[in-house]
């Protein structure tokens, strides 16, 4: 009997973390149906946690949580040619249509048809809505993915083939946190060798800004945080200098002085804000030289009032989405950096949780305990969840 076909027709029961829309979540069994044309059904192996997952619980509607994931292709719909059953894949939420105004300008994460945050229709990049159901009602998947679930169905553009040598937990975080940090340096700020960089906040995204800056050849790379343990990690990931911030000094007077002392009294070429603290929204402008770039990578969306003289003179303030990710270009680059041991992924995963421990995982993230917390949905195994990869 053709096992591929029999598996393809089955509906899977999948334990999933469902946002209640009011800031909480429940673990429930949902139904995950066979993929439609140009869609892929994936058995999730690991899912990274991002602050956005925590925010998304309060978006006013139920959804399957999670937008950083890696797993195994279980079946594919008609017209899918770039992956087959048994392939290890990374899930990616920047699904480009390739033809709209933004895609034509290389802004794939801003795709007007498919982007979950910048698109005209927030469901444009989804697999068909009845692919995941609770009872007989469709249930939406966060960022087109819904990775905090044992199974999901996504559009074919959302899956990127993973090399065999990246463990699940290390791979899954590539699909948001790592890409956002690295891409903000390389694609957005376009940091050049020898440029001076400051990074405010050394959590999951900040550490990836730091390693992006190291890979780009920046010097000095100055890390600022209020926790000594995070500054230690910053050094491990590539910071050349560290500054202990003072929680009570939001205008960063002493930090500014120290940064100036390290940059010929000029200020840094580029400063990244990765604290998610709205009170520090203006901070990167303080730390850059005339003509320098301030980059906000933490997703601050609150009202921030600031002295416009902070822009003097000729400064640029960037707010890149997903590190201006172009999936086909960027993920192979990240895989290669990992292989060459330039991009540290295993070291970013502070702790692995089961789905049942999701509340703890969120709590630890909010306390700043982890660089990255990852929910492992199936254990690492050379054969994957379906046994031998030669199943036909
Ligand atoms: Zn597009
Ligand atoms: Zn994210």
> How far apart, in Å, are the Cα atoms of 75 and each of 40, 148, 322?
6, 19, 28
Report how far ligand 2's centroid is from the alpha carbon of 158 (Å).
15
- 358-375, pLDDT tens digit by residue? 999 999 999 988 999 999
Report how far ligand 2's centroid is from the alpha carbon of 68 (Å).
7
Would you tell me how many other CB atoms lie within 10 Å of the CB of residue 55? 13
What 3-state DSSP class applies to 329?
Answer: helix
**94 alpha carbon, closest ligand:** 1
Map out the domains of the chain with their CATH numbers. 3-166+345-376 (3.90.180.10), 180-321 (3.40.50.720)
Report how far ligand 2's centroid is from the alpha carbon of 67 (Å).
6
- 308-319, pLDDT tens digit by residue? 999 999 999 999
Q: Which residues lie closer than 8 Å to 297 by C-beta, 6 or more apart?
A: 180, 181, 184, 205, 206, 209, 272, 273, 274, 320, 323
Report how far ligand 1's centroid is from the alpha carbon of 243 (Å).
41
- Rounded Cα distance between 271 and 278, Å, is 16
- 80-139, pLDDT tens digit by residue? 999 999 999 999 999 889 999 999 999 999 999 998 888 777 677 899 999 999 998 999
**125 alpha carbon, closest ligand:** 1
pLDDT confidence bin for 380, thresholds 50/70/90: confident
- Rounded Cα distance between 273 and 321, Å, is 14
Residue 20 burial (CB < 10 Å; 0-12/13-18/19+)? middle
Q: Which residues lie closer than 8 Å to 5 by C-beta, 6 or more apart?
A: none
Report how far ligand 2's centroid is from the alpha carbon of 297 (Å).
11
Report how far ligand 2's centroid is from the alpha carbon of 210 (Å).
17
What 3-state DSSP class applies to 205?
Answer: helix
Report how far ligand 1's centroid is from the alpha carbon of 171 (Å).
26
DSSP 75-133: EE-TT--S--TT-EEEE-S----SSSHHHHTT-GGG-TTT-TTTSSSTTTTPSPGGGEE
């Amino acid at each position: 009997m053709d096992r591929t076909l029999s598996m393809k027709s089955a509906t899977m029961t999948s334990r999933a973390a469902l946002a209640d829309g009011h800031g909480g979540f429940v673990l429930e069994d949902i139904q995950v149906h066979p993929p439609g044309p140009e869609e892929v059904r994936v058995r999730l192996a690991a899912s990274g946690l991002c602050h956005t997952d925590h925010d998304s619980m309060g978006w006013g509607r139920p959804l399957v949580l999670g937008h950083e994931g890696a797993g195994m292709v279980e079946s594919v719909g008609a017209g899918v040619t770039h992956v087959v059953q048994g392939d290890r894949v990374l899930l990616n939420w920047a699904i480009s249509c390739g033809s709209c105004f933004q895609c034509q300008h290389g802004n794939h994460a801003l795709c007007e048809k498919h982007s979950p945050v910048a698109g005209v229709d927030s469901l444009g990049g989804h697999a068909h809505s009845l692919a995941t159901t609770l009872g007989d009602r469709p249930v939406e998947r966060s960022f087109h993915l819904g990775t905090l679930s044992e199974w999901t169905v996504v559009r074919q553009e959302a899956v990127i083939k993973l090399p065999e040598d990246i463990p699940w937990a290390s791979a899954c975080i590539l699909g948001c946190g790592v890409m956002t940090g690295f891409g903000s340096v390389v694609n957005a700020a376009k940091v050049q060798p020898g440029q001076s960089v400051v990074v405010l906040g050394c959590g999951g995204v900040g550490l990836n800004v730091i390693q992006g800056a190291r890979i780009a050849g920046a010097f000095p790379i100055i890390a600022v945080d209020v926790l000594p343990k995070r500054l230690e990690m910053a050094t491990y990931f590539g910071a050349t200098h560290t500054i202990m911030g003072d929680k009570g000094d939001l205008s960063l007077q002493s930090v500014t002085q120290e940064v100036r002392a390290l940059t010929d009294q000029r200020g840094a070429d580029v400063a990244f804000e990765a604290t998610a603290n709205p009170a520090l929204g203006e901070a990167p402008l303080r730390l850059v030289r005339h003509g320098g770039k301030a980059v906000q990578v933490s997703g601050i969306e609150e009202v921030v009032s600031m002295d416009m003289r902070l822009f003097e003179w000729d400064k640029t303030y960037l707010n890149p989405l997903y590190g201006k990710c172009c999936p086909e270009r960027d993920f192979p680059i990240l895989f290669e950096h990992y292989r060459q041991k330039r991009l540290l992924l295993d070291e970013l995963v502070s702790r692995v949780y089961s789905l049942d421990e999701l509340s703890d995982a969120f709590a630890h993230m909010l306390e700043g305990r982890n660089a990255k917390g990852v929910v492992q949905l199936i254990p690492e195994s050379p054969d994957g969840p379906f046994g031998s990869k030669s199943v036909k």
